[in-house]
Structure 1
Amino acid sequence: MFEEPPLPTLDPNPWWGPGERQEDNVAVTQFKINVPEKDLKDLKDRLSLPLRLTPALEGTNFTYGFNSDTLSRIITYWIKNYDWRKRETKLNKYPHYKTQIEGLDMYFLRAAANVGVRKDVKVVPLLLVHGWPGSVVEFYGILPLLTTPREGSNVVFEVICPSIPGYGFSQGSSKPGLGTLQTAQIFLKLMKRLGYDQFYIQGGDWGSFIVTEMAILYPQNILGVHVNMVSMMTTTQRLKIWLGSLLPTGLVFSEGDKPHHHYPLSDFFALLMQETGYLHIQATKPDTIGTALDQSPVALAAYILEKFSTGTNLDNLHKPDGGLLSKDYPISIDSILDNICVYWFTGTITTSVRFYSENVNKNLENRPTNQIGVRVPSGLSMFIKDIALLPESIVKHKYLDIVTYRFHDIGGHFAAMECPDLLAADLHEFSTAVENRD
């Protein structure tokens, strides 16, 4: 319906580090997470300061933001029960590395494939990309399911999990302009440096943007792309959603395929306004909010935990604990605190939220790749509690070669942490189908 624009042209060798361009140190060196004792003491001292919390309004639960009573309980748990050194040992289960790319010290972990006695499986490389407010911590539950053989699958993955520049242990840019397109180029260079000329890619949240950009820019290097969130949309997709809101069922969508999550559109846009205030702040004034969060681990915890509450289920807004302390909450508090600690100890909350300014505030909706279809084999997993939820009849206008599309009636935004078995099964099914193509 609409003519695709040409691929954007990127500087093939930019310098995002401080100062003038230098030669990259291309060595790949092993890295161990080992937070200094002085940093642990500093964290404990800050957490032990008297809390200055305003009592929540009666009966509001999480509808005004993070409930102060719940925050007090979580901070008490953090001080008395959470043991970073034990968690650090867990995080060091996989080998970690750093290498310099385009002036930045880029971090990644590597989870090796374990074929065992199986002789009928193929080891394939997989680049696994996180989002915000996540980190590689998101993937510790799913990695064992990807790196070992699975019934019905004839592939097993060698997994590379990098941190986005400015997140966790990856250095942030010293210069403006590093967004998802530029990150896609950095990650391609990383995989090639590790010896992978062709590989699979998977992502959610910002990760879905980055891997989709990679599939568009470098189709010759991508064996297949899998995402568990779709936000990059063509004009055709937007037009179809709009028409579907006006016309009777059956003309644009069948009853079973109608994107009910978006209708009525007025409710959907009201929901977006309610739940994306953070995005507008981070897209416009990232250093202001970053500075505030970097001064207090309590503030950082409230800011990130609130996203884990609504990201897993919007109904959590109406629970006194935001669902976070419920027995059926799908993610352990320790795992979320691991993620928060990565941001705290690396001091990267400001550089992470700058990613919104580089993308959302720099014409995210008008970038040329929005109107370019993904032609590599694609797999999509939709989890019912995620805010970005689209039927196959919509996503097929962006992902032009859909191999698998799976809709799950459980799970939300943090699928790798909430439903690792389902997401792993989808990835195995998708890659097996691609590998078995004639």
Structure 2
Amino acid sequence: MGWLRMVVVGLMVVIIAHKLSKMNKEPPLPTLDPNPWWAPGEPQQEDVSINRFNINFSKKEVDDLKARLALPLRLTPGLEDANFTYGINADTLHTIVQYWRKKYDWNKRQTRLNTYPHFKTHIEGLDIHFMRAGAKAGSAKNVKVVPLLLIHGWPGSFVEFYDILPLLTNPQEGSSVVFEVICPSIPGYGFSQGSSKQGFGQLEAAQVFLKLMKRLGYKQFYLQGGDWGSLIASNMATMYPNNILGIHVNMFTINTPGANLKMVLGALLPAGVVVEEEDQHKLYPLSTFVSMMARESGYLHLHATKPDTIGAALNQSPVSLAAYILEKFSSWTHRDNLHQPDGSLLQQHFPISLDAMLDNICIYWFTSTITTSVRLYAETFNKNFVSKSLDNIPCVVPAGLVTFAHESVNSPKSFASHKYYNIVTNNDQATGGHFAAMEEPALLATDLHQFVNIVEKKRT
């Protein structure tokens, strides 16, 4: 009966493809207000100056954090043998809080965070923060300096990029480029001011970042990002192709009718018919993928519907904030970490240092931006954004795609081609997860260098 199943599925494909051909007309680019005002009150004359600043939280703020960490912990013992399957457990959190209280040195870490110069400027009424890492071509011959906008995600921040920056700004063997890196904080994250008005989503962030790069003198530049960084970069490349030399992403989700049809058909047809055999593991069996997504995406529904509720809870206690964020660092670096007693967070082989994770949490804590950061979900998963149909508008600029083995969402190239029409590189990495720049900075940097070298060679 295998032939009969193939015939039935084939007929389904023809019928659905016919319907999709009517639905899948390319929508026009959405129109944005070119000069919105996201700060409180009415629009005012904008100060376009760019000002240097240092990360320097006061002794009062640091002492307040220490006092809150010193409060008795009210933790419920974990269930026997549950490990991290119910989320972060009491024993692990207790150990981390004790380290945070007694061994973590914020003053020392703050000095490290100031290694690269930080700046702020006003755009559309908001204070926009960015870190700048200058290219160091030095005496290297035949090395070209190219500008790169490097965009973080949630629950990350600019802290994600400290280990990868030297690999981007210094000459690397086999590469003819070095990068002048601009690393902004998404509005509502860290030192970038959050919107006071409804409607500021990832598309609006794309416009802000384009204005930032133009203000810095870059009319054309490369993009790199994961998580929100990937989505914002994709929007920029789709909306402003004349300004984008190339886009490189280490997480990409494809939500077009054609890709969604392929996902379903790939579960019904033999391997290799719809999805390349080497890509089958990224999505199939589909029941396993759906189960994993249901388990790991509860936060997303909460952020998208009631961001201020979860934000208020997390903003009251650094321990609560740490529990919420650290659980994501555990489960998103390797899918099997939830079966480890400590979620692997305290194990020597864990790819991200505890200090680096606490640096990231401290940025959220000291800037009090957890609420404004998660509002980005509510402004994305709504009718207003969906109606713009960005997913169905092709990205035509050169694209570099890299998949890390333990990323929660991995799309086969045949799916990605429904969005990215000019895929230059598409590589799979055997290690690494969601926080690629922190986990595998060398692999991510090498992949980015490879992509940009190919694009630059074609351009010249």
Length-normalised TM-score, structure 1: 0.98
Q: Residue type of the partner of 1:11? A: D
CA distance in 1, matches of 2:338, 2:182: 35
Partner of 2:128: 106
Q: How does 1:64-79 map to 2 (within 5 A)?
A: 64-79=86-101
| Secondary structure of the corresponding residue to residue 258 of structure 2 | helix
Query: What is the match of residue 371 of structure 1?
Result: 392
User: SS of the residue aligned with 1:422?
Assistant: helix
Q: Which runs of 5+ in 1 are unaligned?
A: none
Q: Provide the rounded CA distance (Å) in 1 between the counterparts of 2:390 and 2:433.
A: 26
**In structure 1, which of residues 326, 335, 343 is the aligned counterpart of residue 356 of structure 2?**
335
Distance 1:274 1:364 in 2: 25
CA contact (8 A) 2:254 2:411 kept: no
What CA distance in whole angstroms lies between the structure 2 residues aligned with 1:221 and 1:254?
33
1:413 equivalent in alignment to 2:434: yes
Aligned to 1:313: 334
Q: State percent identity of aligned pairs.
A: 63
The answer (yes or no) to whether the contact 1:234–1:372 under 8 Å persists in 2 is no
Flag the 1:423–1:79 CA change in 2: closer, same or farther, 3 A: same
Which of 360, 367, 374 is 2:381 aligned to?
360
Q: Does 1:292 align with 2:286?
A: no
Give the partner amino acid of 1:419: E
1:196-248 deviation line (CA, Å, top 9, x unaligned) = 00000011000000000000000000000000001242211111111111112
CA distance in structure 2 between the aligned counterparts of 1:168 and 1:231, rounded to whole angstroms: 25
The question of whether the paired residues in 2 share the 8 Å contact of 1:172 and 1:351 is answered with yes
* 8 A contact 1:284–1:361 mirrored in 2: no
Aligned partner (choices 232, 236, 247) of residue 225 of structure 1: 247
1:95–1:111 Cα contact (<8 Å) kept: yes
1:138 aligns with 2:151: no
Alignment-derived partner of residue 37 in structure 2: 15
* Structure 1 residue ranges, 4+ long, deviating more than 6 angstroms after superposition: none
Q: Secondary structure at the match of 2:323?
A: helix
**What is the rounded CA distance, in whole Å, between the counterparts of 1:64 and 1:105 in structure 2?**
38
- Partners of 1:228 and 1:434 in 2: CA distance: 17
TM-score for the superposition, normalised by structure 2: 0.94
The one of 184, 193, 203 aligned to 1:181: 203
Q: Is contact 2:403–2:429 with CA below 8 Å preserved after alignment?
A: yes
Instruction: Give, as a single letter, the amino acid of the residue that structure 2 aligns with 1:296.
Output: S
Letter in 1 for 2:180: E
Corresponding pairs, count: 437
Partner of 2:234: 212
- 1:352-389 C-alpha deviation (Å, 9 max, x unpaired): 01111111234655541110111000001100100111
Q: Which residue of 1 aligns with 2:142?
A: 120
> How far apart are the structure 1 equivalents of 2:274 and 2:382?
32
Name the SS for the 1:283 alignment partner: helix
Residues 147-296 of structure 1: matches in 2 within 5 Å? 147-258=169-280, 260-296=281-317
Q: Secondary structure, in 3 states, of the residue corresponding to 2:277? A: coil
SS at match of 1:406: strand
In the aligned structure 2, how far is the partner of 1:95 from the partner of 1:51? 37
Counterpart code for 1:395: A
CA contact (8 A) 1:31 1:97 kept: yes
Letter aligned with residue 385 of structure 1: H
Q: Any idea what SS the aligned residue of 2:42 has?
A: coil
Paired residues of 2:407 and 2:432 also in contact (CA < 8 A): yes
Question: SS where residue 295 of structure 1 aligns?
Answer: coil
1:86 aligns with 2:108: yes
- The Cα of 1:265 is off from its aligned counterpart by 1.7
Q: Which residue does 2:4 correspond to in 1?
A: none
Please tell me whether the aligned partners of residues 130 and 185 of structure 2 are also in contact (alpha carbons under 8 angstroms).
Answer: yes
The answer to whether the 8 Å contact 1:384/1:408 transfers is: yes
